[in-house]
Amino acid sequence: MKRVMISAVAVMMVFAAAAQDSEKARAPIRSEIGDVRLKGFLGERLDLMIERHVIGTDIDYITAVFQEKTETKRWWQTEFWGKYMHSAMPYLQYTGSAKLKTAVDRGIARMIASQEKNGYIGNYPDELRCGEGWDVWGMKYTMLGFLHYYDVTKSQEVLDACKRLCDYVIAELGPDGKRGRRLYQTGNWSGYASSSILEPVMWLYKRTQDKKYLDFATYLVKDMTEVEDGPRLLDLALKGISVADRNGHGNKAEAHGGYVMKHNRWKAYEMMSCYQGMLEYFEVTGRKDLFDAAVMTGNDIIKEEINLAGGCACSEAWFHGARKQHLPYLRLQETCVTTTWMRFCEKLLDMTGDPKWADEIERTFYNAYLGAMKLDGSEFAGYTPLSGNRYHGQHHCYMHTDCCTANGPRGFLCFLKGFFRTTGNAAIFNFYASALVKSVIPETGKTVAFDMYSLYPRSNAARIVSHTENAGVVPLKLRIPKWSEKTVVKVNGQEQQGVAPGAYFTIEREWKLGDIVEIWFDMPVIAHKLERNVAFTRGPVLLARDSRFGDGDFTEPFRQGIKDGQRMTGFSDVRTPSGDIWMAFSATLPIGSHHENPEGRLPSTVFFCDYASAGNTWQRDNYYRTWFPEEYGPTE
């Protein structure tokens, strides 16, 4: 796909017909994507995904369900359009695609045409609305879809449709609502799914400043934090209760093992979606206890749930997965959980400025996220195990799509949006890849621009050339990953001092055309041990053995002696055997149990690739492994 560079003015010209009443709109919300244009490997992956997936989506198909009110199984067909819009609008800004513009405009017209006089948009018959199932969840995503469109077009018609839909929810489930039940009592997972509507309610308030939406949000937050059998997203977090252990507090935990549970609180995707809304509420109200609960929850997820691929969750539930990642748990790393974790980290990065959240986005992006994307960008796997093979997602709700395929493109946005930012008087690089970037410094109104060339993380270097002039002194902050113990930074050939892992390194200067920043990251292969199993990472990338190398038995045990955190010396970069593998490494390792045999006791040379490339043919004969057993001795 040919990528087109367009300015914010050009975007507004594309939507001129839809923006006739923009003068009535409130102050615009920050654009989701700055002027960042990815090149190289990641640019190609992004282009394919936009062309084959986002632009390739059949808009009539995913909006057809709204035209009739026939949903009696309480399913979630109404989430797909809103998820699509979350990525379609930013990618429309990114590409300027006329085909995509036609699709989103047609989808908006069909959605508005489906709205009932009372404001309802969905596919449930009246007697089943606002109750069990995913009706409120679907309305949440419809509101998000409308607001993504509004943020670009400033269409008053679309904003009004969103307001009418929110007014319907308030009338039915707000204080003294017609349905006679609290909103958290609808849906599943102790109210997580329905309560996550807080996020678009807060978006709507920020765009309209209508107090009734803030009042409704306050009502939601009260039930999300104070009701004994509700989500309890505040007190359980502040008490330090891990996300996997929050069941049974004020309700009876269910143990039937079914996919849907009414009361349990371990559902990963929906929990994080609720915290996303609570952070939006904090930004307006300043309720720091809500912010603290979200940060503590994020820290607990890193400690207890995130695996070496940056993924999490078993069958979409928290399960202390970090300590169990070497075991073959079912339905690992749902792509919806992966993208929602990236969004959660993105919000925390925005609000805290702490680079550890960018570290987490990077790890997840290069492993669990890219590993879930089909090589041609056309779809996303529902689950991506740490060992096994990749495969197609589900068919959800009798439709030829699923929640993960709908959600998938949102994850790339987190990387793209966080790549280069300007805030205050500074510019920030959080990630490293070939790209052209340009932005305005908020405090001065001056434009800065840079050209980065890098094969990172295939290589350990990045080169940044200034395309900036006459912008005055601008601090340029570079995220130094926590895993890079000894990073070297040079400016115009002069090595800089004070570079530290897990922090931003700031270069403060008046940038001139042609100034060059060079970065070399410390990127050894590191061993990780877990209950007599071993895995290897290189920088942010988890390594895997893949059947395409044809280099022996993956179950053959490692000999004892490798230590947790050990820097491995037997790994070397090698040429990849085919174009569908991004990175390849040879490794000479102590594998095999025939210690007594003169030949058998010698180390073996095997091959590894990056986790995202492992199994990416999506064929059953293409399998891979990331965790490997270590042999036991007779006294153990």
Beta-ladder partners of 435: 38, 452
The dihedral built from the CA positions of residue 276, 280, 281 and 287, taken in this order, carries a sign that is positive
Residues 271-303 pLDDT 10s: 999 999 999 999 999 999 999 999 999 999 999
Same domain, 11 and 123: yes
Q: Are residues 407 and 428 in the same domain?
A: no
579: CB partners within 8 A, 6+ apart: none
Residues 1 and 92 in one domain: yes
Write the CA distances from 91 to 95, 430, 511, integer angstroms: 6, 20, 30
Q: Would you say residue 5 has pLDDT above 60? A: no
Q: Let me know if residue 219 belongs to a domain.
A: no
507-540 CB burial, b ≥16 within 10 A, e <16: beeebeeebebbbebbbbbbbbbbeebbbbbbbb
Quote the pLDDT of residue 33.
66
Domain boundary among 81, 103, 132: 132
- Judge if 11 and 128 occupy the same domain: yes
Domain assignment of residue 299, yes or no: no
H or E element that contains 201: helix 198-208
Among 470, 504, 520, where does a domain finish?
520
Is the pLDDT at 10 greater than 70? The verdict is no
| Total domains in the fold of the chain | 4
For residue 552, being part of any structural domain is answered with: yes
Whether residues 433 and 475 share a domain: the answer is: yes
Residue type, 7: S
At 636, the pLDDT band (50, 70, 90 cuts) reads confident
Residues 502-508, mean pLDDT to the nearest whole number: 98
CA–CA gap between residue 391 and residue 331 (Å, rounded): 12
Least confident of 76-85, 268-277, 457-466: 76-85
Task: Say whether both 439 and 516 belong to one domain.
Answer: yes
pLDDT of the residue at 501: 98
| Domain stop point among 132, 160, 186 | 132
In a domain, 273, yes or no: no
Check whether 551 has a pLDDT greater than 60. yes
Give the Cα separation of 471 and 513 in Å (integer): 11
Residue 278 belongs to some domain of the structure: no
Question: CA–CA separation, 152 vs 131, rounded Å?
Answer: 33
Average confidence score pLDDT of the chain: 92
pLDDT of 369: 98
Are 529 and 516 members of one domain?
no
Domain residues for the domain of 463 are 424-520
* Weakest mean pLDDT among 139-143, 195-199, 396-400, 425-429: 396-400
Cis bond leading into 577, ω under 30°?
no
pLDDT tens-place string over residues 609-630: 999 999 999 999 999 999 999 9
> What is the phi-psi region of residue 381: left when phi exceeds 0, alpha when psi lies from -120 to 50, beta otherwise?
beta
Could you tell me if residue 56 is left (phi over 0), alpha (psi between -120 and 50 degrees) or otherwise beta?
A: alpha
* Residue 2 sits in the same domain as residue 126: yes
Nearest to 272 by CA among 237, 324, 240: 237
Q: Is residue 367 part of a domain?
A: yes
Q: Whose CA is closest to 131, among 403, 398, 139, 315?
A: 139
What is the mean predicted confidence (pLDDT) over 496-504?
Answer: 98
CA–CA gap between residue 618 and residue 381 (Å, rounded): 9
Q: Are residues 411 and 383 in the same domain?
A: yes
Q: What is the tens place of the pLDDT at every residue in 171-203?
A: 999 999 999 999 999 999 999 999 999 999 999
pTM of the model: 0.94
CA distances from 59 to 283, 406, 465 (A): 34, 12, 41
Distance from C-alpha of 96 to C-alpha of 185, rounded to nearest angstrom:
43
Q: Give the residues across from 536 on adjacent strands.
A: 527
Per-residue pLDDT, averaged over 324-351, amounts to 96
Whether residue 308 has pLDDT greater than 90:
yes
Does 123 share its domain with 1? yes
Alpha carbon of residue 172 to chain centroid? 32
Query: What CA–CA distance (Å, rounded) separates 494 from 64?
Result: 61
Residue whose entry in the numeric block shows the structure tokens 């929602």? 340
| The pLDDT of residue 118 is above 80 | yes
Least confident interval from 218-222, 377-381, 591-595, 610-614: 591-595
The answer to the question of residue 154 being in a domain is no
